[in-house]
Amino acid sequence: MGGGARPPSAKVRPLPFTVATWNINSVRLRLPIVAQLLESERPDVLCLQETKCRDAEFPVSAIRKLGYEHVEISGQKGYHGVAILSRWRLDAATRRGFCAKGDARHICARFADGPAKDVTLHNFYVPAGGDEPDPVVNEKFAHKLAFVDEMRDWFAADGVANQRAILVGDLNIAPLEHDVWSHKQLLKVVSHTPVEVEKFVAARAAGPWFDAMRKFVPEEEKLYTWWSYRAADWRASDRGRRLDHVWTSMDLAPAAASLRVLKDARGWDRPSDHVPVLTTFDF
């Protein structure tokens, strides 16, 4: 038997995988800036919310020409709608209905190949909830609260976050004090009210899910993904909110490697009031 030293085991280099999420507020109207994002950033997958078109009207051909061959959509005429645009092959997508409304607000798929093989990706668009934070007088707010409760119950009952899962989307709630420009002034404003925050935290805990964005930006620092169209100069006033979120199952939390919030996209031509959020994982 030879007495030579045993060669060290080769280290496996992690493969980066970038997930982007963006409430686009009409994919057909804003297709040019979707193309701008895909061409400049080249994320592995882009999740869109508020696509506002039926499945047959989704610009699938244009998206595929940009290198995103695998497109899964759930749309409806003029409202809501979610989509997954991927450079990697996806297993058949599933779409879950909430609150018996028939709204297109959720889609999920599992990656069939690539660095994220066997990871399940959920894309959500939670109802905005209208302007009045009273479920008795505002049916939209009542719907929002019921939707988040149903998310919580589903996560708890079906173990959605038990293994290798990522959840992204416009969840329309800014839960933390520094997720809004003024905690005190927004306590009675839909998206930051105590009842919404309580239900949001319960839904996340039911997974349990990990808040991947706050891994990179401490809770005591401001973090926004949305700036209102109503602001005459959104950049100068900077009255933002973090309405878009990235959660992971606990086993994937260590894989989250970096975060970018593309604030400049709020100033692109004919912009959405939300901006893209890109999270890179090392798998």
Report yes or no on 6 lying in a domain: no
Three-state DSSP at 48 gives strand
Angstrom distance (rounded) from CA 74 to CA 51 = 9
**pTM value surpassing 0.85:** yes
Report yes or no on 3 lying in a domain: no
CB atoms within 10 A of CB 186: 18
| Banded model confidence at residue 12, pLDDT cuts 50, 70, 90 | confident
Angstrom distance (rounded) from CA 27 to CA 79 = 11
| Banded model confidence at residue 225, pLDDT cuts 50, 70, 90 | very high
Q: Phi and psi for 32 in degrees, rounded to 5? A: -60, -40
Report yes or no on 143 lying in a domain: yes
| Banded model confidence at residue 146, pLDDT cuts 50, 70, 90 | very high
Chain-centroid distance of CA 16 in Å reads: 18
Chain-centroid distance of CA 17 in Å reads: 15
pLDDT at residue number 37: 98
Average pLDDT, integer, range 141-147: 98
Burial class (CB in 10 A: 0-12, 13-18, 19+), 181: middle
Flag whether pLDDT at 81 surpasses 70: yes
Which comes out higher in pLDDT, residue 8 or 112? 112
| Banded model confidence at residue 2, pLDDT cuts 50, 70, 90 | very low
Give me the chain's average pLDDT, please: 96
Tell me the residue range of the domain where 45 lies. Answer: 16-282
Report yes or no on 11 lying in a domain: no
Report yes or no on 9 lying in a domain: no
What is the percentage of the chain residues whose pLDDT exceeds 70? 96
Task: Indicate the Cα dihedral angle 161, 258, 117, 166, nearest 10°.
Answer: 20
| Per-residue pLDDT tens over the stretch 48-57 | 999 999 999 9
For residue 20, give every residue at least 6 positions away whose Cβ sits within 8 Å of its Cβ, in sequence order, or none.
37, 41, 43, 45, 46, 47, 276, 277, 278, 279
Report yes or no on 156 lying in a domain: yes
Report yes or no on 202 lying in a domain: yes
Report yes or no on 153 lying in a domain: yes
Q: Any idea what the CATH number is for the domain that residue 32 is in? A: 3.60.10.10
Average pLDDT, integer, range 169-197: 98
The number of folded domains in the chain is 1
Angstrom distance (rounded) from CA 57 to CA 37 = 21
Average pLDDT, integer, range 14-36: 97
The helix (H) or strand (E) run that includes residue 199 is helix 194-206
Q: What angle do CA 7, 9, 11 make, to 5 degrees?
A: 140
pLDDT at residue number 4: 52
